[in-house]
Amino acid sequence: MGRNHTDAGAAAVASGAQNFLILEQTTGMDLADTIQRSLEQAKIIHKVQGAMNRIELISRRDQLTQLLNRTGFNRTLAVEMAKARRHQLPLSILVAGIDQFKTFSDTYGHKTGEDILTVSAARIKALVRDEDVVLPVCRRKIRRGPSRRRCKPGPNSGRTNPPKHV
């Protein structure tokens, strides 16, 4: 009979069990201790998983604006490009900037500049769909053509009118 218990215990552990008890050899105290240890281990696993999720979020998000950072954007762009290719759909990227931001931030203080970025990010996120991606582009000036362009919405944008200026 001991061999059956050993085989059953080995099979349970191989299937992912953290522990096993043999009914005929287990007291109420053994069962309570095992449950207590399992609960403590589950709490630790939950904390570690939460910390890992926060680290992943921090690694992909700008801490000030909570927008995707370059790493998060690159991952998302790769997925969206593959999706667009697979479904033969266009992919649109809109680049916008805040004119004279550096001058304003230097003149009125960096805290005011951060406030502008935070509020602008929130307003832009409120204007786009949940599945759209907003990325802060900083530290490098991107300038192609006029700074203000009116764009027509794409065929899958779900919009009939272009968004209003922020």
Tens digit of each residue's pLDDT (9 = 90 or more) over 97-116? 788 888 888 999 999 999 99
* Amino acid 137: pLDDT: 65
Distances (CA, A) of 89 to 14, 70, 156: 46, 24, 8
Please, which pLDDT band fits residue 42 given cuts at 50, 70 and 90? very high
The three-class DSSP label of residue 68 is strand
Q: What does the pLDDT read at residue 70?
A: 83
How many other C-beta atoms can be found within 10 angstroms of the C-beta atom of residue 135? 19
This model's pTM is above 0.75: no
Burial 92-130 (b: 16+ CB within 10 A, else e): eeeeeeeeeeeeebeeeeeeebeeebeebbeebeeeeee
